[in-house]
């Protein structure tokens, strides 16, 4: 990833301001009310809930959310009774995520840490579920990434991913949400990704193409000011949404949700 690509100052203020302007009571926020502003991936909270159900989320589970961003997915998993450790390389996202978690009274269930997905500083075999949602696109070394996920999971643990992958038509049209150009975007096809995961020891249980059901609008005009993508990307969002629409419609990028077992 280009260093600092996602870093933003004043994010908590921007999020609360945008929600307040939309009529939300920011002093009595709920996970659902915050969701448009803190889920930063295709399909929003509905996609997170879908993947959580597929993964068999249960109370008491210990979850590692790699590239967890502002923590929207982590706080959603906490509502199912899970304990979540979020690791993300973007310091301002980690700071903002921790502040939002405290605001929602979930600090006993969700922890936010700065860290690199390729060098996870967690004990081996310590998590029931490794979760990663729209975070691996700018990581080149997928082999190392998935070996790290396998290491973090206890035997019998589960990996749940939501990941944009290369579609049958190439090349990708830029800019995309995670990269201005091809130098920092590393997508592989679904069969190639599956092979990486299987080589890391995972067994595929569910593999769903959710491109159609998570598709956003064709133009950024339809994205309200309190959505995470608008708050984080600002005016750059317009070109990203236009390119995203073409990437989806022309089969250049697909979105996969998958659940895998670590035997
Ligand atoms: C599009 S955001 C998704 C955030 C969150 N998973 C969500 O769905 O709301 C991508 C996230 O991946 C994180 N990320 C990218 N490369 C990373 C790396 N090498 N290690 C840790 N986090 C990374 C970014 O900082 C960013 O927060």
Mean pLDDT of 204-233: 95
Closest ligand 1 atom to the C-alpha of 116?
20
pLDDT 10s digits, 120-139: 999 999 999 999 999 999 99
* Model confidence at 207: pLDDT above 70: yes
DSSP string, 196-215: HHHHTT-EEEEEEE-TTTT-
Q: Is the pLDDT of residue 2 over 80?
A: no
Residue 218 has pLDDT above 90, yes or no: no
Q: Which residues span the domain enclosing 119? A: 29-261
Q: Tell me if 184 is assigned to some domain.
A: yes
Q: Give the mean pLDDT of the chain.
A: 97
- What per-residue confidence (pLDDT) applies to 189? 98
Residue 232 lies in a domain: yes
In the predicted structure, residue 208 carries a pLDDT above the cut 80: yes
Cα-to-centroid distance, 238 and ligand 1 (Å): 21
Domain membership flag for residue 82: yes
Q: Which residues, at least 6 apart from 158, have a Cβ–Cβ distance to it below 8 Å?
A: 55, 56, 128, 129, 130, 205, 259, 260, 261, 262
In a domain, 93, yes or no: yes
Dump pLDDT digits (tens) for 106-124: 999 999 999 999 999 999 9
| Span 198-206, average pLDDT | 98
Give the SS3 label for residue 74: helix
> Residues enclosing ligand 1, CB less than 6 A?
1, 6, 39-41, 67-69, 72-73, 88-90, 93, 116-118, 133-135, 138-139, 177-178
In a domain, 2, yes or no: no
Flag whether 19 is in a domain: no
What's the CATH number where 166 sits? 3.40.50.150
Q: What are the backbone dihedrals phi and psi of residue 70, each rounded to the nearest 5 degrees, phi first?
A: -80, -5
CA distance 12 to 9: 9
Tell whether the model's pLDDT for residue 84 goes beyond 80: yes
Banded pLDDT at 3 (limits 50, 70, 90): low
For residues 88-96, average pLDDT: 98
Confidence of residue 217 (pLDDT cuts 50, 70, 90): confident
Looking at the whole model, is its pTM more than 0.85? Answer: yes
Nearest alpha carbon, ligand 1 atom 13? 67
Looking at the CA of residue 90, tell me the nearest atom of ligand 1.
25
Q: Which residues 6+ apart lie within 8 Å of 182 measured at CB?
A: 171, 172, 174
Tokens 């190439």, residue located: 170
Which tokens belong to 107?
């600090």
Q: Residue 1: is its pLDDT beyond 80?
A: no
Bond before 82 cis per omega within 30 degrees? no
Alpha carbon of residue 8 to chain centroid? 17
256 is a domain residue: yes
Q: Which atom of ligand 1 is nearest to the CA of 6?
A: 25
Question: Would 128 be classed as within a structural domain?
Answer: yes
- 28 Cβ neighbours under 8 A, 6+ residues apart: none
Q: Which residues contact 184 (CB under 8 A, 6 or more apart)?
A: 1, 2, 5, 138, 178
Give the pLDDT confidence of 26-64 residue by residue, as tens digits: 999 999 999 999 999 999 999 999 999 999 999 999 999
* pLDDT value for 216: 87
What domain count does the chain have?
1
pLDDT score of 121: 96
CA of 125 to the centre of ligand 1 (A): 22
């Amino acid at each position: 990833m280009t260093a600092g690509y996602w870093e933003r100052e004043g994010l908590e203020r921007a999020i609360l301001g945008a929600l307040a302007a939309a009529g939300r009571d920011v002093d009595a926020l709920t996970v659902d009310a915050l969701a448009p502003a803190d889920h930063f991936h295709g399909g929003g909270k509905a996609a997170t809930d879908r993947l959580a159900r597929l993964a068999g989320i249960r109370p008491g589970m210990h979850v590692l959310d790699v590239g967890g961003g502002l923590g929207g997915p982590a706080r959603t998993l906490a509502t199912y009774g899970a304990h979540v450790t979020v690791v993300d390389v973007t310091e301002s996202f980690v700071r903002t995520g921790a502040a939002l978690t405290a605001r929602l009274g979930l600090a006993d269930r969700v922890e936010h840490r700065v860290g690199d997905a390729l060098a996870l500083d967690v004990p081996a075999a310590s998590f029931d579920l490794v979760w990663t949602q729209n975070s691996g696109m700018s990581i080149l070394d997928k082999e190392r990434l998935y070996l790290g996920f396998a290491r973090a999971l206890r035997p019998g643990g589960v990996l749940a991913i939501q990941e944009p992958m290369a579609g049958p038509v190439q090349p990708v049209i830029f800019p995309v949400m995670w990269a201005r150009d091809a130098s920092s975007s590393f997508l592989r096809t679904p069969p190639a990704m599956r092979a990486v995961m299987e080589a890391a020891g995972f067994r595929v249980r569910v593999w769903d193409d959710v491109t159609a059901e998570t598709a956003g609008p064709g133009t950024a005009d339809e994205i309200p000011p309190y959505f995470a993508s608008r708050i984080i990307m600002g005016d750059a969002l317009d070109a990203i949404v236009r390119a995203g629409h073409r990437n989806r419609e022309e089969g250049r990028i697909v979105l996969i949700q998958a659940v895998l077992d670590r035997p």
